[in-house]
Structure formats: structure tokens, C-alpha cells
Chain A
Amino acid sequence: MKILILGAGQVGGSVAESLCSEANDITIVDLDAARLAKLRDTLDLRTVTGNAASPLVLRQAGAEDTDLLIAVTQSDQTNLCACRIAASLFNISTRIARLRSTDYMSYPALFDDQNFAVDFTICPEQVVTEYIDKLIEFPEALQVLEFANGLVSLVAVRVIVGGPLIGHPIADIRKHIPNVEARVAAIFRGERAIIPEGDTQIQADDEVFFLAATKDIRQVMSELRRMDKPIKRIMIAGGGNIGYRLARALESDHQVKIIERNKKRAEFLATELKSTLVLQGEATDEELLESENIDDMDMFLSLTNDDEDNIMSATLAKRMRARRVLALINRHAYVDLVQAGPIDIAISPAQISIGALLAHVRQGDVVVVHSLRRGAAEALELVAHGDRRTSKVVGRSIGEITLPEGATIAAIVRREGMAADTDNSANAKDDRPSKVLIAHHDTVIESADHVIVFVVSKRLVPQIEKLFQVGLGYF
């Protein structure tokens, strides 16, 4: 696929990195030649220096035969303008724009083909905020990812001593909690991935990925580990976009303190946030943390732009006995470095937000893609089309489907009363209730089912895509 990325910042860079490895032709445009040079050195892509909203620059970047435009510059205006130009002059079929300001988002009509011609908008800050919000709701989880509009969740959880299932085979889940259906999609023991069978035993310190209806996940988690008290008191270091959005989302039912270095920004936060306590200072200042009772905090989140600061302040907070600490870390090398150390959760914003983009890049009818374990593994929600004759999955039971080694079908979401395969693209609005079928060997996939597939390695994604593509007979 020919992809044009506008903006080589954190988001643009990691999108490029992630897509480069998947045999796409990528061109990236940015104003900063030095930044582009750096990318060109490490990745196999083309770069163009210039204003991303200029027709001339876009033409130079080969916009004329591009399939997908990803406008992720810092400026909302540039992104919107580039989408309009892409539609008017170059006929690029799919246009994605990053929009930070909620102002634009509140007028969906702006994104029509007559107006800015944006097919999909993404807001990385919002995606990361929601991601962290989930982790606060489920403090025991390492990752909580939603499929089928939140009906099904994939949860990563570290098994620790005290979980009733430790030492038992997976099949025992059903005996322990008979009224709940859950499927363990994968177990990571150290760096090794285990595709679980019914008799695989769960051990302490395993990282278990399981899939269950969202309402059931707390119950399933309690089988794997002792449950913590819910999180009430939260301290956020860094009042940037993510810190601010998170504080705003949490302040109504949590006690939130936020530490911001910049005085002007702190004043802005104090004006916009209602019950959050805004503190001005350094998050690595031991005395400040001490005087604000860091040891009483249920969760400490360091969300500044600076990886080193985040690591240091999170480490400090942990040592000063904050219950659970989370750090936002952009650099891959650091994530691996600290994950096992004093920091409970290290999250990479680029990896989280890239899922929202990946769904549009994937072949076939992919609704959602979540990147797992820092991009190594992936979970996809795909729509099955066709019938037994044209499709390799529809009309077959899961046992019959030949999946590549390392891939699992974890669940199926089926709309009630869905007769034939009509319109079921990613954005189809449909109010009919859906039900979650946790996958068994004998579950038969029907057309229009949303199938959630877990792959332990990203290498397997093309094979899965191919599996779900409809043969020629379908058309």
C-alpha cells in the first residue's frame, strides 16, 4: 500500500516505523529536515521537506498515486487543509487526520466530503487518556483493550501469588466460575509466548491475556490474582494534554492532584479543572511529593513529555511508597528497561494510539487493531464475509479453520437477527443488540460476525488478513 504520512513527530515517526515493516511504500513529509534525515537513516522510506498543506509539496511527495493519507502534524489546521487538498487535487481515497482540539470534534459536519473531507479523525492524546482511564478502573490489569464497541475486552494481567487458579490447568476456569465465559488467548512466560491448550497450567508471574465480556473481567481477574482496593487518590505529574484530559475525566469521582512545572500552564489547569488540586513544581522534587502525601496515593502517573523525568519521578514515587506507579515512556529501549523494575506500568503512547490507525491500513475488513506487548503482538477485530464457498472462515467451525501457529480466535461478536451479509463496514451504525460468543472448537462463524483474533507476533498478521479475505467468487 502507498502511504503518505504528514508530520514526523512522535506519532508520525512511530506510525512510519510500524508500517514500514509491513511492506508498505511510505513517504513522510515534515518541515524539519533534520528530523527526516534521522528517520531516513533508520527506516526504509522516502522523505520530503516542506509544508504539509502545500499542493506542491504533496505532489512532490507523490500524492497522485497514494492510497492512504495520514495527516498527523502538530497543527490541526494543517491536517484539515491537507485532507481537503488530498481529496480535491489528488483523489487520495482514504484520509486520516489527527485533531487535538475538541472544538473541531464537536462539529462532525466539518468532516464531510463537501467540507474538509476527512474520513477518520484520531486524537492520540484522547486514545492514551482512555487507555490510562481503563487502567485506573482496573488497577490489577496491565492492559485493557476493548473490542466491538466495548462489549468485549482483552485484558493483560500478571498472575501473582494468591490467585485461586495458580497451578491449575486453564480448563479449570469453567469449574471455578461456571457462569462466566472467558478465553485465555495467550500466556507470556518471560519472553516466551505459550499458546494455551486446555491443560496448560497457569503459574505465578505469567502474563495472561484473556478475553471476556467487559462486565465479567473483574471476576476473571480475581481468579488470577488477589484484587486491590479500588483507586481513589491519584497524583498526576505533568499537566500536558494527556495529564489535563485525564484529570478532567477523573476528577469527578477521584481525588486528583496534578503537578505542573510551568506556571502559565498551571494557571490554565487551575482555571479549567474544577476539583483537581493543581500544584506548581517539579515531580522529581522529593519534598513536594512528601508534603503532598505521596505515600497515601493509590496511583502515581508521570505523564510529562520527558521520558527521563517520567522514569525518575515514577521511581521516586514508588520508593516513597505510592501504591502503584505508571510512567509514560516514548522510547522503546526505556520501556523494556523499566518494565521489570520499580515501575508497575510503563506505557508507550505511540504504541497505544497506533492501533487506531492500523485498522485503516490492514487489508480486509478490519475494525479494530490493538498493539500488544509494545508492538510485538497484536489483537485484531475482523469482519467475516461471504459464505462457505467464497470464504475460508465463514460457515466453518473454529476447529476446522487452519490458523497459523501463534494465532487464536478468541471470541465472536454476533448481531442478533443478522440474516445476510449486507453493510457491515467499520462505521455502520447498527442498534441491534450484539452478543458475545467466547470461541470454542465447535463454534461456527457466520457471515458478518466480528471475529477477534489474537496473534503472538505481528509477522502473522498478513496471513490472518489473507484468511479473512473473500475469494473471487464472492463478487
Chain B
Amino acid sequence: MRAFFPVLNVLGAMLAIFSVTFLPPIATSLIYQDNAASAFSYAMGICLIAGSISWLATRRFKAELKTRDGFLLVTLAWTLMSLIGSTPLMFVYEKMSFTDAFFESMSGLTTTGATVMADLDHAPPSINLWRHELNWLGGMGIIVLAIAILPLLGVGGMQLFRAETPGPMKDAKLTARISDTARALWLIYLALTIACALCLRLAGMNWFDAICHALACLSLGGFSTRDASVGAFNSPAIEAVLIIFMVIAALNFATHFVAWKSKSIKAYWNDVEAKGVVTLLTISCIGAGFYLWKVDYYPSLWTALRHATFNLVSVATDCGFVSVDFDKWPVFVPLWMLFLSCILASSGSTGGGIKMIRTLILSSQGSRELTRLLHPAVVNPVIIGGAIVPNRVVFAVLGFIFLYFMSIVTLTFLLMFGGLDFISAFSAVIACINNAGPGLNVVGPAQNYGPLTDFETWVLSFTMLLGRLEVFSLLILFTPGFWRK
């Protein structure tokens, strides 16, 4: 136990700092007089006291963290913060179970955006703000985690690959120190969020909705202040703004940083992932729009394109805003959207899933094997962005994909074991492991995750965390070797 005191020490400090994040909802509550201020104050108090105590109690054990501690820290941080994040919900809604509150909070912090709450339109504004803030904090956490911390732990093919290869990818090492990198990324994230909020306001939202949706958009979280999500606004302008910012959020923030530093958009051109994301999205949106028009689901091509583009971009980037009930579309389109959600988002973005870079590495590896069958003597290493991807990294990616798909299969079986139908179970697992949000059928865009049983809700909470921490970082805690001295 003693060995984990340094981790507890850091966690304590993090929690104590996290208590500051309760201030905006408290302020909101006071402005709108929604009677939730006391709930948030209690939560803040608990957070501050618990954090301070564990920080002070373990102060003697303060030590440099080892790689092994890093895995534990990351997992515990997400879990504990979700726990703390769920407290105001339970204080405000007396009827809400701990299971649902934890799910909602975890969904926020993992930027999933799946909700168990109905009647959002009449929820206290402070609660809505809190949910969106969780989204935003989770998004920020994941950017810093993916770009600054995971490389130190050696997790993820991309990180390994970045740190060691020369060429255009090297730009990803933004500044010499992690703290500087984190600060720079945080600034970009903040600036983009403000820009998004302003645009949404100009597009016709009120300030409160604009801020909330901007928080959920840049983090690719996908919470909304309305039950009908973005559909409630029924405004092409708002949808257009959100589409643009969702795509921005699905690109690598390191690329944004380089573009901002060099003041040129060439950085995006050099980013192989960005090219993949934009190409795949463009083709898919146009294709889906034409398909929906062709099968006469929508009478006009324009409407078909509008709805197809918004919902496809939203699900494919793992955001999860919804403008129409796409569950009613011919099943080809929603399934394609869910498939994209698995592969599309860039590494170093707030999106989830396999990530574009792994997709590119694997497809390159696939064609490499085909060429090798024809030409046994061929030398054709996997090349991404002009640099060779070492075989070790390719294997790491293959391992990741295997664990990822096995997780999907296992978790889907678990849900079906609990009695859920196949489409609901499968789509719920896909939507949660990719941190997208809405699934199909029971958990479809017009529904929410409320009706699920406690067992199913817990499984999906775990699924969200598993996807958010890139499978490896969480699963390693379940290996006996990790706990061995």
C-alpha cells in the first residue's frame, strides 16, 4: 500500500485543485436562482476536504512518480473525478441513483456525451453548465494526456512513433518541457472554445446555450442543454458552426499549435491524419446525403445533405450532438457513422476510438502484405508522412486493435447477457468505447441511457473509461504483473 502513497499525494493535490471547477456552476446558480448553489457548495467542500486530507496525509511520501504509477494515477484520476463530479447531481436530484449519477459524470469527463437524464430543457442551468464543464475539462484532460503524458508512459503506437522518428511528425514535440506544452495546448483549446461560443451566439443561440454547446463541442463531448440536442434549435447556421468546430476538434491539437506558431495552414497539409480525416468526412457526408435523398427519406437533396452532414460529422468525430432521429434512417447510414466513429478522430484530438493514425498504419500494413505476396523480395516498410514506422510500432498497433475489438465483443456479450437486444447492445458499446454518445435503438438519438438497468449502466461506465484511456492504460491495471513488487 505504501508504494501508492506518492500517487495518492498527487491525486489529493489534483482533487483540491479540481474543487475550483465548482465555482462557475455556483455562480450560475446564484444568477439564475435555481436553488442548486448549496448542492454545488457541499460538493465543492467534500472535494476540497478529501483532496487536502489525502494530500497532507501523504505529504511525507511525496516522490518522483514512476512509469508504473502513471497508469494508476491516470485511471484513478478519471474515476475519482467522476465520483466527485456525480455528487452535485445526487444532491440536486434526490431520486437519481448513484449508478446513474456516476454514469452521467463519467460520460461527461470521458467526453462521451451519453446521458441518462431526461427533461434537460427544464433542468437547473447550473446542472447543465456543470455537465458541459465536465465535458470540457475531460477534453482538456485528454489532450494533455495524449500529447504530454501518455508518451512518457510509452502508451499508444502514435506516441511511441512520434517520439522516435524524424521528419514532419517531429513537430509534435512542441516545446521542450511538458508543462510548457500543456500550457500551450490549453491556450489553444481555450481560444477555440471562446471562438466557438462567439460564433454560436452570432448564429442565434442565447449566451448560456452558446457557452454550454461550445464547451461540449471543442471537447467532442456532445452533451446538450436540450433533450432534442441541437435539433431543438433547428438552425442551419448553428449546425454549420458546430460542424466546423467539431472537425477542428477532431484534428490533432499539436497541429493546431504548429499552425498557430508558424501562422500558416501548411501544418494541416503536412499532417497525414488531417488529410485522412477531411477526405473521409467529405466523401462520407456527400455519399450519405445522396443516399438519403435517393431512397426518398428526405424529399430535397439539400435537406438530406444538411442532416446527413451534421449527424455524420457529429458521430464520426465522436462528438455526439444530434439534430434528427437518425435511428429511423435506413440502417446503412447510422452504421457507417458508427464505423467512422471507431476510426476517424486524429490522435492528440479530443475524439476517441482507434484514431486515424492507427487506421493509416494498419491499412498501409495491409497493402504491404498484399504486395509481399506478389513480390516476395520486396522491401516496403510502412511509411506514414514520409517516415518509416518501425515494425515494433506496427505490432503495438495490431495489439491495440485486437484488444479494442475483443473489448467490444466481450462488452457487447455482457450487455446481451443482461437482456439487451443486439443492435442496442452493440451500438451502445461502440458509442461508449469511442466516446461518441448516442447509439441506436434503445439508446438511439431520440432516447437516452436512462432506461438501462444498473448492471448495464456500470458496464457502459467502464466501457467509456476503457475507450478514453486507450485500452492499454486501463487493462494494464488488471494484469497480475502490474501489482507484483
Contacts and interface: CB of A to CB of B under 8 A. Distances in A.
A272 to B, nearest CB: 9
A280 B381 CA distance: 12
B378 interface: yes
B387 to A, nearest CB: 7
A263 interface: yes
Contacts of A277: 371, 375, 378, 380
A463 to B, nearest CB: 54
Nearest to A266: B379
A360 B377 CA distance: 45
B480 interface: no
Nearest to B380: A270
Contacts of A288: 377
A155 interface: no
Interface string A236-263: 0000000000000000000000011001
Contacts of A270: 379-381, 383, 388
Interface residues of A, number: 16
Nearest to A259: B377
- State the main secondary structure of chain B at its contact with A: loop
A235 interface: no
A278 B380 contact: yes
A182 B259 CA distance: 57
Given A267-B388, A271-B386, A271-B388, A279 B375 contact: yes
Interface in B347-396: 371, 375-381, 383, 386-388
B376 A291 contact: yes
B387 A271 contact: yes
Contact of A267 (B375, B377, B379): B379
A279 B377 contact: yes
- Residue from B371, B377, B378, B381 whose CB has the most chain A CB atoms within 10 Å: B377
A43 to B, nearest CB: 42
B379 A280 contact: yes
Contact of A278 (B376, B378, B387, B388): B378
B389 to A, nearest CB: 10
Contacts of A118: none
A377 interface: no
Contacts of A269: 379
A342 interface: no
Interface in B81-133: none
Contacts of B380: 270, 277-278
Contacts of A281: 377
A272 B387 CA distance: 9
Contacts of B376: 291
A281 to B, nearest CB: 5
A449 B201 CA distance: 74
Contacts of A172: none
Nearest to A279: B377
A284 B182 CA distance: 56
A324 B375 CA distance: 23
B324 to A, nearest CB: 43
A113 interface: no
Nearest to B383: A271
Contacts of B388: 267, 270-271
A292 interface: yes
A134 to B, nearest CB: 29
25 contacts: A260-B379, A263-B379, A266-B379, A267-B381, A267-B388, A269-B379, A270-B379, A270-B380, A270-B383, A271-B381, A271-B383, A271-B386, A271-B388, A277-B375, A277-B380, A278-B378, A278-B379, A278-B380, A279-B377, A279-B378, A280-B377, A280-B379, A291-B376, A291-B377, A292-B377
Given A277-B380, A280-B379, A281-B377, 5 more contacts: A267-B388, A271-B383, A277-B378, A279-B378, A279-B379
Interface of A: 259-260, 263, 266-267, 269-271, 277-281, 288, 291-292
8 nearest A-B residue pairs (beta carbon)? A266-B379, A279-B377, A278-B379, A281-B377, A280-B379, A270-B379, A270-B380, A271-B388
